[in-house]
Structure 1
Amino acid sequence: MNTKLRSNAFAAYGALSNYGVGLQHQAFLEQVLHIISSCHLPRLILHLHDDDLNVRLACRNTFKQLAPLMEVDGLSSLLNKQYFTSDRRSDYEDFIRDLAKQLCQLSAARVDSYLESAIQAFDAPWPVIEANAICFSSCLLSLLDDQPSLAPYFSQVFATLVGKMSRSPDAVVRAACFSALGLLVKAANPLSSSASQQLDRIDSSRNSQDSDPNAKPPAQVQEEESAKDP
């Protein structure tokens, strides 16, 4: 999709917030905001770190306009922090982690719709949006792993990440998969972190290999680590 069209589309959602005041406030919440929150809010969140600057700015502005109307405690305060306006990926990921904690206050049905939308974006045509979807969905799942209704999502996302980690041609997607898998492993079994530690070692080896041509490949590191485990 054309970047100008994307930025204008996200800006239009923000313009709708002008109707969420005064006597129309309740009707707006029940109709328009519900549709935006359920269907389009996850996409807005993912494009906060779009490759295109104009799209990022449009999404940030729209999010600021909609946040006060969503009635989620602590949500607006996140937008005043430095990481919300930062273009660094690490800052975006920190924002997503904090945002996920706030969104988990919502009903299970709302969170369920967010997960569905994020998982659909695993097939986005833009690698950075695919990586953002992986980050967002894994953060939500790691906070809600005790809810039986989300178990199918957990297994689906975990299996998808394992596949993408080895097959994706995009470094940003592979890195997102490593991070997300570690997060999900810790959430699923907090008393035993050996698996997540192994993922961390593989990820560290992978980063070292990028800078050291003589470094061992991740597959060899994984085999050696597995041989050490009793």
Structure 2
Amino acid sequence: MNAKMRASSFAVFGALSNYGIGALREAFVEQVHAAIPRLVLHLHDEDSSVRLACRNTLRQVFPLMEIEGLLALLNTSSFLSDHRSDYEDFLRDIAKQFTQHLLSRVDTYMASTVQAFDAPWPIIQANAMYLCSSMLSLSDNQHILADYHTQVFGMLVGQMSRSPDAVVRATCSAALGLLLKSSNSCSWRAVHLDRLDTTIRNHDTAESNNKLATTQ
């Protein structure tokens, strides 16, 4: 899907929020929850028109969710900024809102976001990695941690060593840092650090072998 189509799709969804009232409200709010992860991920799309469409649509749909913390985020500099560091601040802030006020939705948010690890755009892959790690680092729900912590950690380690895109590798490193520093990750930390160390050693060995083969 090209940038124009992505921007139009997000904008149309925002316009539909005008009909999320009365008898249709509950059904539309369910659609909002289904769309929220993708809206958040494309808020830092590579295309400025897509970013603007997502920003406007979030302004339209957040009021329907009736969570004051989400509404407050709409006025923050991190929401309005196009800088990567500000966007990552926003992801941590919205992950906090999700884990505090929408705990019953975090499972579906995580599932949708993990799917975006395979998105055709490296920047969206990176965004998904950081959002997943932010939610996991802030969640104390054992069901969520058991279902996703090891899976996400493994995907981050793999992408950090294999991805050709600098933004993906850098975000993997930052996301791994969130998981390893989280107090909720204590029971996973030892095995994860061992796995990370093994992956780094294997990657270094492969690079050394490639260099040796090149010189022969």
Q: What is the TM-score when the length of structure 1 is the normalising length?
A: 0.78
Count of residue pairs brought into register by the alignment: 192
Contact 2:32/2:61 (<8 A) preserved: no
Match of 1:189 among 165, 186, 191: 186
Corresponding residue of 2:28: 32
Q: Pick the aligned partner of 1:149 from 143, 147, 161.
A: 143
Tell me by how many angstroms 1:152 deviates: 2.0
Runs of 4+ in 1 over 6 A off after TM superposition: none
CA distance in 2, matches of 1:77, 1:28: 25
Deviation at 1:71, TM superposition (A): 1.2
Secondary structure of the equivalent of 1:182? Answer: helix
Question: What's the TM-score once normalised by structure 2's chain length?
Answer: 0.83
Q: Secondary structure at the match of 2:43?
A: helix
Q: CA deviation at 1:107?
A: 4.1
Distance in 1, matches of 2:25 and 2:90, equals: 25
Q: 1:30-62, CA deviations, whole angstroms, 9 ceiling, x for partnerless residues?
A: 10111221x211000000000001100000000
| Structural mapping, 1:154-165, within 5 Å | 154-165=149-160
Instruction: Give 1 or 2: higher helix fraction.
Output: 2
Q: Deviations over 1:71-111 (max 9, x none)?
A: 12311111111121111100100011111111113343311
Where does 1:52-201 land on structure 2 (aligned, <5 Å)? Answer: 52-144=47-139, 146-150=140-144, 151-187=146-182, 188-189=185-186
Q: Could you tell me which amino acid in structure 2 is paired with residue 36 of structure 1?
A: V
Percent identity of paired positions between Structure 1 and Structure 2? 56
Which residue number in structure 1 is paired with residue 208 of structure 2? none
Counterpart-to-counterpart distance in 2, 1:111 and 1:12:
25
Structure 2: distance between partners of 1:173 and 1:28: 40
Gaps of 5+ in 2: 197-202, 206-216
Q: 1:142, 1:183 within 8 Å by CA — same for their partners in 2?
A: yes
Paired residue type of 2:141: Q
What is the root-mean-square deviation in Å for CA atoms of aligned residues?
2.1
> For structure 1, which segment, 69-78 or 42-51, has the greater mean C-alpha deviation from structure 2 after superposition?
69-78
Structure 1 counterpart of 2:9, one-letter code: A
Determine helix, strand or coil for the equivalent of 1:74.
helix
Q: Which runs of 5+ in 1 are unaligned?
A: 200-217, 221-230
Shift of 1:165: 0.6
For 2:106 and 2:119, the matched residues in 1 are separated by: 20
What is the distance in 1 between the residues matched to 2:179 and 2:25? 33
Three-state SS of the structure 2 residue aligned to 1:7 is helix
- Paired position in structure 2 for 1:212: none
Aligned AA (2:135): L
